[in-house]
Structure formats: C-alpha cells, structure tokens
Structure 1
Amino acid sequence: MRPVFAFDPTTITRLPQPVDEVLLVIDGAITRTNRDEAAHLDLNAIRSLPAHSLHTNTVVTDGVKHFEGVLMRDLLELVGAIGTTVQARTLNNYSVDIPMSDFYDYDVVLASHMDATQLLPSGKGPLWIVYPRDQWRQLQDIRYDYRWAWQLNRLTVK
C-alpha cells in the first residue's frame, strides 16, 4: 500500500528545513535529506504524513493506551530509506536494531501522543516506537518488547 502524503516524496530530492525544534534525525541509507546528509525532522514534518492511531497494552504502562502518530513505514518512505535494518537510538542512550520488515509486516507507529497528551522527554517522548501488540499474538514476545524505543531521537538506516 502506498502512503498518501501532503506532497509526493518521490518528486523531491531534499526535504524541507525544520521550522521548529528538531525531534528526530534520520541518517544512513536514505535518499532524501535536508541537512548534513541526514533528515532533520520537527513535529510539523512528521505530521505532514498521514495520521495513524492504535489502542494497545504496553509492558511499561498500565492498561490499554491510545497512541497517535504516523506509521514507521510512511516515515521511511518520506526519507527514501533503502536499507534492511533501522538502528533506533534514544535520549537515554538506549540503542536497538529493528528489521525494516517489521514496519511493513505490522502497523508500527511512531507515536508523538499517548492518551491525547503529547509525549515529553521527561516521560516516554518526544517520540516512541509502538507496536500493535494486542492485534498480533507474535508481537507479545520479549524480542519485540525490546524494539519499543521511547525517548527516540535518532534513526540510522542500514
């Protein structure tokens, strides 16, 4: 399924410059950049992608939570990712390699909001990779739990 964007990412070679605080830097094997051979994205750039939400349990919160953001596969399409693995890094120096196939096999969300509240760095923000674990039994496995990178601030496509 091809995402619908506010603009067609296949017609641009460079992304627009961020206007607000940069929340996410994507580098590595990408074809669309806007600064220093990387994609520097603010919340406006991320929100230019189609919105997506999901309800799911997590292993670090109580009960079902409502997450809002964009699909990871749409984000990777925006930057022209051409790798097979994404290394996610966080503000607290956590790092995990995630197969890109996860983002095409499941509706994995790059969440900016939980329960209608913007995620902040003092919590799980500014961004959180969230899997639809309640929809897929195989995602209720510790291997996938490690891929839920919160306080996300950098992705490297390999």
Structure 2
Amino acid sequence: MPPPTSPSILEVRGAISRINAEGVAHFDMEMLRALPAARLETTTAVTDGVRRFDGFLMRDILAHVGARGTAVTARAVNDYAIEIAIEEFDRFDVLIAYEMDGEPLLPGDKGPLWMIYPRDQHAELQDIRFDYRWVWQLRWLEIR
C-alpha cells in the first residue's frame, strides 16, 4: 500500500496484512476518501435532530488493510479507547464519518473522524452501551 502524501490522520496496526510503514497502515484524508463512500442519516446522543454523515464503512477499511483479528480497539486523540468485536461491523453499517451535514468534521469538534452507529435503524443500538462506541476524534485502530 502506498504511503500517505499528506499528514496521517488514521493509523491502523495489529493483525493486518497490508501496511505502508513498519507494521502500520497510515491513512491521510485523500486515502480515506478513496475508500467506497457511504452515507448514514441518524440521530446522535450529542447533537440535535437527524444528522447526515458521510464517510466509509468500518468493514471496508478492515478489508482494505486485511484485518485478521476478532476485536478492534478504537482510540481517540485524548486516549479514550474502547474494544469492539469485529463481528459488530458485519452486523451493522458502522460508519467512520469525515463529514456531517455536508461539512468536514473539524479536529476542534468531533473530527476529523467520528465512528457513527446506525442507531435509528436498529432499536438495540439506542442502548447507552453503544453510545460509548461513538469514538470522536478517532486516530488509531488496533486489530487483535
């Protein structure tokens, strides 16, 4: 996989087969926008009303790096981290958003990347346990 041409905003490591640095796959925004695009409209626990999110599906980036594990630890810039079973990304269209309502997600708010669950499409995702998985300012994924 070619290295990014601008600063990396997402790093994927662990049990992956496609890398562009020693043991790591770095992605800049251009590389992330080259993944298959996805859109999700849903409410969130931290915004008002239904919002439109654009980005890529978590399962697509996992396939892109050749992930071979059973769990992903998603970590934010502030070191918030949560472990999520990979099977969840097959069950639900979990989006890594880089835009909300047509505007780029900014680092000073929830961006540049925010993990979004399709909570309005699945009643079970409206449980607070899933709200903890909405990692904003996402920076690292570790596959195990």
Q: Post-superposition shift, 1:93?
A: 1.3
Identity of matched residues, %: 51
Instruction: Give 3-state SS (helix, strand or coil) of 2:106's partner.
Output: coil
**Partner of residue 135, structure 1:** 121
Counterpart check, 1:94 vs 2:80: yes
SS class of match (1:153): strand
Task: Specify every segment of 5 or more residues in structure 2 that has no aligned partner in the other structure, as ranges.
Answer: none
Measured after TM superposition, the shift of residue 21 of structure 1 is: 1.5
Distance (whole Å) between structure 1 residues aligned to residue 62 and residue 17 of structure 2: 10
Corresponding residue of 1:149: 135
**Partner of residue 28, structure 2:** 42
- Map of 2:9 onto structure 1: 23
Q: Distance in 2 between matches of 1:101 and 1:146?
A: 17
TM-score when scaled to structure 1? Answer: 0.90
Query: How far apart, CA to CA, are the structure 1 residues paired with 2:97 and 2:35?
Result: 12
Letter of the structure 2 residue corresponding to residue 85 of structure 1: A
In 2: Cα distance, 1:77 partner to 1:47 partner: 15
Gaps of 5+ in 1: 1-14
Report the alpha carbon displacement of residue 49 of structure 1 after superposing the two structures with TM.
1.1
- Count of matched residue pairs: 144
Aligned mate of 1:51, from 37, 55, 75: 37
